[in-house]
Amino acid sequence: MFDKQTYVNRRARLRSLVNDGIIIIFGNNESPCNYPSNGYYPFRQDSSFLYYFGLNRDGLVGVIDIDNNSETVFGNDIDIEDIVWYGSVDSVHDLAAQVGVEHTAPMRALKNTCNEALRQKRRIHFLPPYRHDIKIQIFDLLGIHPVQQKEAASMELIKAVVSMRSVKEQQEIEELERAAEIGYLMHTTAMRLTRPGVTEKFVGGQVDGIAHSYGAMTSFPTIYSQHGEIMHGNPSMSVLQAGRLALCDAGAETINNYCSDNTRTMPVSGTFTQRQLEIYSIVEACHDHVLEVAKPGVKYFDVHLAVCRLMTERLKELGLMKGDTDEAVAAGAHAMFLPHGLGHMMGMDVHDMEGLGQTNVGFDEETRPNLEQFGTNALRMGRRLQKGFVVTDEPGIYFIPALIDEWKADGHCKEFINFDLLETYKDFGGIRIEDDILITEDGCRFIGEKRIPYHPKDVEAFMQNNQ
């Protein structure tokens, strides 16, 4: 938790951005795993509640009354039964005082507050809910059916939250740097353990353990797989095989709930084959190209397209693509190899604020998503970059057998893709290199002081010297 004034200032600015009415920001409740008293661990608070109220306890709701210039934290104090099992915690009143909120009330009083606001026909602002218990609570409080709540959520509040959380404060950047330190330990652990005969599950479990040991948790379920062509390939019991590639996409979340997100691809045998090196070098060049072109005022959509053009040019040199580069990219032919976007916002959520609607977070009135074209429709971030944004830089090249078969059968983009040669890559897998970058005054830089090895010779040297 940051200092009290941080939260006081954030709520004051939020009040100035939302003109009138009351703002309700719901914290999370405990979430049961496989039976009621066995909850998912550790407890994870809602990120917007953390951002404005900073309290990492379940069962709390924050209300900001703009018209009457008052703030209240609603929640019930824990009883003796909880104290016996979990120990004593501060009262709701004491918790609220820690973040500069004067008023508190039991949760049952929130219904009266909402009823009075509805009676006076005041505007009630809330963010789109994503947990079913909160959807039921909103239904009870406001009478809005869960299927209507996404549309009923306040666009004014969404825009205000996005505008504030997008630009990171210095203390947030420092917290992201701490997350990067843990991420470095996670990925170098994966590199040390990757060798023939070890299971994916073992390596993935060790990587997760680093996150839990040094921070709060992983920032998302760890991806570690020899099938790098599967975007979200979670660790299986498969044994690592010589000659294959292993892709590790993992990140940490600090105690203060700021995230890292990195990807590395490494040769199971410790040395890249010539074919692997040819593809890897293209991804490496695309990854580094972002550092040259990403800066304030530039659309990340344009950075994405610049990477797609570079990738297409290099794949043409290998004979996998052909034809005019600009025409190929316009047709979406590159999506055969890169079916996702270049990156996404990063912060308290690994896909920062994505629950508020990706169009609201990664795009704006000027830059709209292309939802029709395969690959481009997966671009999560396209708007103009600003100083203080933190985004991921994660190009990749994947050889997905089912996608190859479908496009080949349909003749899709046949004027740009050499399907005969592509057939010989069906057992290749996939390669991705990902880092988190901070947009600075006149360019960008990596988040994290220590660089997880990613240049081929550095990856090979690290693996060979640390096993």
Q: What is the pLDDT of residues 436-467, one digit of tens each?
A: 999 999 999 999 999 999 999 999 999 999 98
* Residue 259 pLDDT > 90: yes
Mean pLDDT of the residues in the chain: 97
**Residue 368, C-beta contacts closer than 8 angstroms, at least 6 positions apart:** 359, 382
Q: What is the pLDDT of residues 125-173, one digit of tens each?
A: 999 999 999 999 999 999 999 999 999 999 999 999 999 999 999 999 9
Angle at alpha carbon of residue 305, lines to 248 and 440, rounded to 5°: 75
pTM recorded for the entire structure = 0.95
Q: What is the pLDDT of residues 62-95, one digit of tens each?
A: 999 999 999 999 999 998 888 888 888 899 999 9
Q: Determine phi and psi for 103, rounding to 5 degrees.
A: -100, 140
Q: What is the pLDDT of residues 1-49, one digit of tens each?
A: 899 999 999 999 999 999 999 999 999 999 999 998 888 888 999 999 9
Task: Report yes or no: 242 and 268 within 8 Å, Cβ to Cβ.
Answer: yes
Distance CA 350, CA 367 (A): 22
Q: What is the pLDDT of residues 358-389, one digit of tens each?
A: 899 999 999 999 999 999 999 999 999 999 99
Q: What is the pLDDT of residues 95-126, one digit of tens each?
A: 999 999 999 999 999 999 999 999 999 999 99
The single-letter code of the amino acid at 462 is: F
